[in-house]
Structure 1
């Protein structure tokens, strides 16, 4: 990992932590990475500290102890004509295991989301440390989850990728693909948006 990639990862984590405090901070994690100077913003009353959020109110739900969970997302920039994907893998304690942020060929947003699921599965396939554990993949697109879980259907031009996803259990992996609201996908959303400014794949094991 390069120094720049490490810096980006640190800034992303700062952004996620700030979001977790639920402050009225006007910048997204992606904007913090692009312009770190925005961290100088302050709108707190002197002498006050933000309340610690209630963990039970978290919208992200940990997987069972024998499972690990991917949250994946896709992003589209119609003006730049660019698409990208991102994902984060966590265990039952919420510990980050892996993240990715990647540019992909420009395409419709639902098809890009299929590419994000495909990328997550390919990472799992190539890692010996993840073998033997059930994989849960959460997407905020009902259409995409429906395509991946059905025997057929979906866009004709990505049938090869959809069939890979549908047949992944034949390789010995236990995979469950399900739909969750966008609010539980904020980390993956930030990684996907960051991919719009990348030229190459970014994958990090944590």
Structure 2
């Protein structure tokens, strides 16, 4: 399964999820798959329209060569009192390496973004084949990024997670955390939304899947 196929699968699943949620969303799952910017639609009493697009923000930017990039996101459904996170890891060629989508305890969205950053870093630490790499972790929450990069501050009840993030970098695992607009990566946004309907964690290694499919040929 290629990275493009995985992306299309995620977008279709997001479309089905929105349809099942029974909101007045004007696009079909197929339309979302063809044009992910449909997800930026908002409804108002006056009219239904797409939000203005910032061309520079809608393009995923690759990391430098020999670096890997995590794009992470969080999603919140206040009526169902559910929160979830998602992330995708790619190399400088845009090749998909890893995906995750996980439900987490119900919480405020900026705090949930910290959980998403923490999840990406913990995956890197827990899997030895990622050791020795350099990573960029991108989030669309300015607050979460600022709290993670400061020596102090942030929500008092998750200081142990913030301290983990602040102290994880080492010679074998180097991280840079940065902020970038949500529209720069629809995949992590879709994975986070899918987590709202999940009961357990989802983690997939695309490199391993590709190797298995190649071995079947």
Q: TM-score range by the shorter chain?
A: 0.7 to 0.9
Q: Indicate the residue corresponding to 1:13 in structure 2.
A: 8
Q: Indicate the residue corresponding to 1:146 in structure 2.
A: 146
* Separation in 2, partners of 1:82, 1:142: 22
* Separation in 2, partners of 1:129, 1:171: 15
CA deviation map 1:167-193 (0-9, x unaligned):
011474110000001111211000000
Q: Indicate the residue corresponding to 2:14 in structure 1.
A: 30
Q: Identify unmatched segments of 5+ residues in structure 1.
A: 1-5, 17-27, 42-55
Q: Confirm whether residue 192 of structure 1 aligns to residue 192 of structure 2.
A: yes
The Cα of 1:125 is off from its aligned counterpart by 0.6
Q: Identify unmatched segments of 5+ residues in structure 2.
A: 21-27, 32-55, 207-217
* Separation in 1, partners of 2:169, 2:99: 23
Q: 1:174 to 1:153 in 2, by over 3 A?
A: same
CA deviation map 1:129-175 (0-9, x unaligned):
21111010000011111000000000000000000000011474110
Give the aligned length: 173
TM superposition score normalised by structure 1:
0.76
Q: Confirm whether residue 96 of structure 1 aligns to residue 96 of structure 2.
A: yes
Q: Indicate the residue corresponding to 2:117 in structure 1.
A: 117
TM superposition score normalised by structure 2:
0.73
Q: Indicate the residue corresponding to 2:77 in structure 1.
A: 77
Where 1:174 maps in the other structure, the secondary structure is strand
Q: Confirm whether residue 183 of structure 1 aligns to residue 183 of structure 2.
A: yes
TM alignment of 1:20-59, pairs within 5 A:
29-32=13-16, 38=28, 59=59
Q: Indicate the residue corresponding to 2:173 in structure 1.
A: 173
* Separation in 1, partners of 2:7, 2:17: 6
Where 2:185 maps in the other structure, the secondary structure is helix
Instruction: Out of 112-121 and 166-175, give the one that drifted further.
Output: 166-175
Does the 8 Å CA contact 1:11/1:29 hold for their aligned counterparts? no
CA deviation map 1:50-79 (0-9, x unaligned):
xxxxxx996101111110000000000000
Give every structure 1 segment of 4 or more consecutive aligned residues whose post-TM-superposition deviation is greater than 2 Å. Answer: 9-16, 32-36, 38-41
Does the 8 Å CA contact 2:134/2:173 hold for their aligned counterparts? yes
